Amino acid sequence: MKVPLDYARPGGDTIGLALLRVKATDPSKRVGSLVFNFGGPGGDGVTALAQSAGSYRTLNTRYDLIGLDPRGVGRSAPVTCVDDRRMDEINAQDDSPDDAAEERALTAARESYDRGCAARSGRLLPHVGTPSAARDLDVVRTVLGDRGLHYFGVSYGTWLGGSYAHLFPRAVGRAVLDGAVDTRISTEDLDLQQAAAFQRALRSFGTACAGLGRDACPLGRDSASVVAAIGTLLDGLDRAPLPTSGGRRLTQSLGTTGVSAALYSEQAWPTLAQGLAEAVRQHDGTTLLTLADLQNGREDDGRYSNLSAANTAITCADTPDRYTVQDVRRVLPKFRNASPVFGPSMAWSMLQCTGWPVRGDAAAQRVAAPGAAPILVVGNTGDPATPYAWAPALVKEIGKSAALLTLKGQGHGAYDTNDACVRAAVDAYLLDGRVPADGTTCG
């Protein structure tokens, strides 16, 4: 479908949006279309739904499932910045510098990346912010013929869903926002809280890993010793990257990414334990590199999705925050205190938008939706990527139309953990319109 590139000039240039539809299996009881956003920002909704539609069979009985690549993402006028070889170099580069030379290298790489984005995608960059994507959703709703937008947003998708509700409160249908983002906090606070949440998730993994015994988890006998061993391993990669079966080397940055990637789902913990055991016993970084590649959007053939480029473009369009190296140095101690493993790299990630060629707009952070139909916000107490505190914060930001559903669990988001209580509550809401009582808890 076609939408305006710039909604301020609706008669001007257009861009194409890619959608995938999985038709309802019981059309006689069809509610409408259910549009998904699986997160990011920068996540490809078409491919994600194609791969995961089976997880939503119950919802698919009465909904056409819709996967959408938002503007700037995947097949929808994708933002591009650098070639695949350069992406390999960027992802392997030290992203937690220890001295002035490494700081200069990091900032130079960031500046070069930004220049590439401006050169390749400068026309798109001013128009990929979340409010524009939310306006696209209303065009999607109209094209699909639904009076209200039925929506399932995960992670960043909760921000997009909140933005839609703010702009079109009377057009909200049944909306689930799972793995909520607090849209009103600064980039510094967001990164700091996320670092602490990843550290908590790592401690939970440490407990589970230690429980497997020394054969499966040769890192320690309890959570503290496992987490300490992981920190030592990653510190060692800074000096001596590990070889992998494909010929690339597992650097500290890639190793840290691989560990954090596995914390998104408790189902990935055995793979993480295997990768850590291989690294410690066999000095082989292959499994950890595979996890990092999945997180970075790298295919086995070396090609990258545009996840990184779209993530940067959308993030920097949605916030006016621009930090300096001095800002990062100032906050490094509290980031290290929040997470010895993830804190330093997450502090330096505050530079993501520093030299970005487009100014960010704080208007993107508005999600108040007075007069909207009931919206269900879901939070997971063990979520590493969207800390649980963001869920009640988003409920407060949206207003009286929002209700909170809590899972006491592990992993990013709640519905896809397959917790029976969460699934039943969400399905009852989406299929029959029964909103769970605000404050309902599962797990």
Q: Which residues are part of the catalytic machinery?
A: 155, 383, 412
The residues pairing with 407 across neighbouring beta strands, listed in sequence order, are 380, 442
433 dihedral zone (left: phi>0; alpha: psi -120 to 50; beta): left
Nearby residues of 145 by Cβ (< 8 Å), 6 or more positions away: none
DSSP 356-416: -SS---GGGG----TTPPPEEEEEEEE-SSS-TTHHHHHHHHH-TTEEEEEEEEESSSSGG
Is the CB of residue 175 less than 8 Å from the CB of residue 376?
yes
Please, which residues bridge with residue 4 across strands? 14
Amino acid identity for residue 405 in this structure? L
Whether 78 contacts 309, CB under 8 Å: yes
Alpha-carbon distance of 138 to 130, in angstroms, equals 13
| Burial classification of residue 344, based on how many CB atoms lie within 10 Å of its CB (0-12 exposed, 13-18 middle, 19 or more buried) | buried
In DSSP terms, which residues pair with 20 in a beta bridge? 67
Give first-to-last CA distance, the chain, whole Å: 41
Under 8 Å between Cβ of 351 and 323: yes
Q: Do the Cβ atoms of 285 and 279 come closer than 8 Å?
A: yes
Residues counted in the chain: 443
Token pair of 217, please? 């988890």
- What is the pairing mode between strands 63-68 and 149-154? unpaired
Helices and strands of the chain, counted as H and E runs: 16, 12
- Pair 441, 408: CB distance under 8 Å: yes
> Which residue from 178, 157, 158, 182 is spatially nearest to 73, judged by alpha carbons?
157
Write the DSSP symbol of residue 268: G
